[in-house]
Amino acid sequence: MSLDTISITFILVNLAYLMTFTALSIKEVLWLRVVLACSHSMIFINNYYYAQNYNVAVWNFIFILVNVIQVVRIYDDRKPRMIPHDMEDLYRGIFSAFTSKEFLYFMNLGEKEIINKQKLISLGDHQKDLLLVLNGDALVMREGKHLAKLNRGQFLGEISFLTDQPASADVYAEDELQYIKWDQSKIRAIKISNNAFWAKLNSVLTNDLTAKITS
């Protein structure tokens, strides 16, 4: 091995270790993946072209591919999507922690419905759905006593969803009420497949419940 080759190997290996060390201090996942891809690239170049250790080179090529794929996936997840005009206030308000892709995904999981002066939730029933008011007012009653009036951007059935307990009050549509509903079992399945999304949703529901209690 020539002196020039030894110098290049020395630079590549140490540069790779420096990048790996730097990656340990990076909290941003996207940049963490980028730095790791660069680090493995240095090791790949050294082992494929200079040290000719092809076994190590192949494994580092695989590591490069994994990190590049993750970079593309993370970038795609964060890329802004067009939010429908009638949903912008919800996205920028209660769902501000969501990416635009996550918000649209969640909205598309639900079903929009409209009722008029009908009972929506009965005290003591086990709720199958989580609901979000889009337009109109929902009256929350218990034993004939008015407890609250909920409107656009407020959830219904979130206590049952969070605690898995029966409904604690009756809910009626004051007049025409438009809402979107999600099957609770489908939402709970997200916890297994996408824990980060679940954590954001749980935070949204907890904030909504806290706001109701404090008001």
The per-residue pLDDT for 91 is: 96
The per-residue pLDDT for 15 is: 94
The per-residue pLDDT for 78 is: 84
The per-residue pLDDT for 213 is: 82
Q: Which residues contact 179 (CB under 8 A, 6 or more apart)?
A: 112, 113, 114, 120, 131, 132, 133, 134, 136, 138, 156
Q: Which phi and psi angles does 103 have, rounded to 5°? A: -60, -50
The per-residue pLDDT for 2 is: 56
The per-residue pLDDT for 3 is: 46
Residue range 22-57, pLDDT digits in tens: 999 999 999 999 999 999 999 999 999 998 999 999
0.85 exceeded by the pTM? Answer: no
Residues of the chain with pLDDT under 70: 1-5
